[in-house]
């Protein structure tokens, strides 16, 4: 037993020293591998049409809020900051994942709603979809952003309670750049 405890103690000390050495690795080296690809590939620019400071109107033309959408982390992600005229707030983080070949969004609303969406560019529109647990069961969620020739962007959010057989509009808005 004495030899086991001596060996065990030596192993623990070795692991502690190795762990301490890891703490000395510069943050820049810990976050990237040597020669790792950057986020400069065209796929990372697919959602750039949404970048900007926006005034958002509903389908009736009423202003319902503002949105600031920025490129962050050296172009590896798109960050959204929403502020509704009624006081609602929310933020999303959007990123292209080269491993899966798809875009991902995590939305967090000021009332605690968390929505996870996945998808990509389809016929010039960014379409992301996911599921949301509601009091009535699981609902499919689909949000599509479509750039227009005038520089505006249409956002159409739909939901389906029947597995995608029929869709109901949640929000239909137009983003126009602030003057």
Q: Which helix (H) or strand (E) holds 5?
A: helix 2-23
Confidence (pLDDT) at 36: 61
- Give the mean pLDDT of 55-65: 97
Tell me how crowded residue 147 is: count the other CB atoms within 10 A of its CB: 16
**Cross-strand pairs, 57:** 63, 174
Confidence (pLDDT) at 16: 40
* pLDDT, tens digit, 9 for 90 and up, residues 102-161: 999 999 999 999 999 999 999 999 999 999 999 989 999 999 999 999 999 999 999 999
Q: In this structure, what token pair is assigned to residue 40?
A: 């400069």
Q: Which residue has the higher pLDDT, 50 or 34?
A: 50
> What is the Cα–Cα distance from 147 to 49, expressed in whole angstroms?
7
| Stated pTM of the model | 0.79
Confidence (pLDDT) at 10: 40
> What is the Cα–Cα distance from 16 to 91, expressed in whole angstroms?
40
Query: DSSP for 8-41?
Result: HHHHHHHHHHHHHHHHTS-HHHHHS-TT---S-S
**Cross-strand pairs, 168:** 159
Q: In this structure, what token pair is assigned to residue 147?
A: 């750039």
**33 — pLDDT class (breaks 50, 70, 90):** low
């Amino acid at each position: 037993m004495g030899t086991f405890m001596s060996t065990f103690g030596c192993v623990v000390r070795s692991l502690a020293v190795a762990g301490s050495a890891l703490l000395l690795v510069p943050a820049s080296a810990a976050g990237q591998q040597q020669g790792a690809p950057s986020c400069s590939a065209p796929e990372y620019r697919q959602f750039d049409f949404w970048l900007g400071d926006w005034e958002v109107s509903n389908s009736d033309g009423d202003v319902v809020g503002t949105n600031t959408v920025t490129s962050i982390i050296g172009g590896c992600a798109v960050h959204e900051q929403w502020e509704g005229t009624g006081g609602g707030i929310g933020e999303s983080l959007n990123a292209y994942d080269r491993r899966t070949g798809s875009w991902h969004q995590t939305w967090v609303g000021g009332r605690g709603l968390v929505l996870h969406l996945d998808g990509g560019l389809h016929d010039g529109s960014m379409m992301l979809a996911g599921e949301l647990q509601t009091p009535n069961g699981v609902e499919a969620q689909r949000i599509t952003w479509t750039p227009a020739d005038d520089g505006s962007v249409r956002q159409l959010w739909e939901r389906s309670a029947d597995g995608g057989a029929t869709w109901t509009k949640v929000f239909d808005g137009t983003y126009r750049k602030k003057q």
